[in-house]
Amino acid sequence: MRVGTWTRRVAAVVLTFAPLSLTQPTAHAQSPAEFYKGRNVELYIGYSVGGAYDLYARVLARHLGKHIPGSPTIVPKNMEGAGSLRLANWLYNVGAKDGTVLATIGRGTGVLGTKFRIVTGYPGGNDVTLAMERGEVKGRCGWSWSSVLSTHKRWIEDKSITVLVQLSLNKHPDLSDVPLVMDFAKTEDQQQMFKLIFARQVMGRPYLAPPDVPKDRAEALRKAFMDTMKDDEFLADAEKSQLEITPVDGAEVETLVKELYQTPKPLADKAAQFIRH
């Protein structure tokens, strides 16, 4: 299964549940509440324990269940490997398609022809930061600002790290003095390519389900996710863990994805060459 094919079916967003398919007809008699009552829902995390993806998912798991009809128990599990591609492939090809399996995977990064030497082999962000502390690597690419704040705020306060550039479509309010990658585009074509590549940052930490989840369950899960984002107990838990919560509605990201797929093929191919090299 090619990832390019799979991502055409994804509508994943910043801390928003977005099923890969919302169009399947309901082929069962049970209501979502009847189906989920007394069940476990597995939430797979594409990275190792201790990183920001893991922290966000475990905080979410403590609160999401009460907003799903039937109040199932959310069970977080880690499945690291290949920058979460292992989980993405498993979710698409193997994961149960009945609404009892969710996942959070990486949104991906490109380095766009920079002269950095990329070091691979670390199973998760927590392992990379430990490698930085040991001097094995000199930095990270695609480390979200919310992750830095929640796991290594001291590094910001004592100026142990320097943020070189923001890989996003818009600047974060905390980083008004840090250059935005979009500012480096010199032509309209480069603007389009950069938008195609870095629009994924809008998706933050995507939460998704396999394709073909029954429509009523998928809609119930999506609503439950957004309801959780407004839950006072969830927000207090997130604040205690210093996790930034900036949800984006799934429909908004679906619109963005459709817009991105209007990018002319020659520009999309050129952008792919930037990422590969």
154 against 108, higher pLDDT: 154
pTM of the model: 0.66
192 against 253, higher pLDDT: 192
152 domain-assigned: no
Residue 16 phi/psi, 5° resolution?
A: -135, 130
pLDDT tens digit sequence for 166-182: 877 778 888 888 888 88
DSSP 116: P
* 21 within 8 A of 212, measured Cβ to Cβ: yes
**Average pLDDT of span 62-88:** 93
144 domain-assigned: no
155 domain-assigned: no
156 domain-assigned: no
164 domain-assigned: no
Whole domain around residue 215: which residue ranges?
3-109+203-248
Q: Output the six-digit token pair for 224.
A: 């439950």
* 15 within 8 A of 202, measured Cβ to Cβ: no
Distance CA 100, CA 36 (A): 8
**Average pLDDT of span 86-104:** 93
CATH number, domain at 67? Answer: 3.40.190.150
75 domain-assigned: yes
153 domain-assigned: no
pLDDT tens digit sequence for 204-243: 688 888 989 999 999 999 899 999 999 999 999 999 988 8
Split into its structural domains, the chain has a count of 1
**Average pLDDT of span 102-124:** 73
Find the distance separating the first CA and the last CA of the chain, reported in whole Å. Answer: 22
12 domain-assigned: yes
Q: Output the six-digit token pair for 23.
A: 């169009």
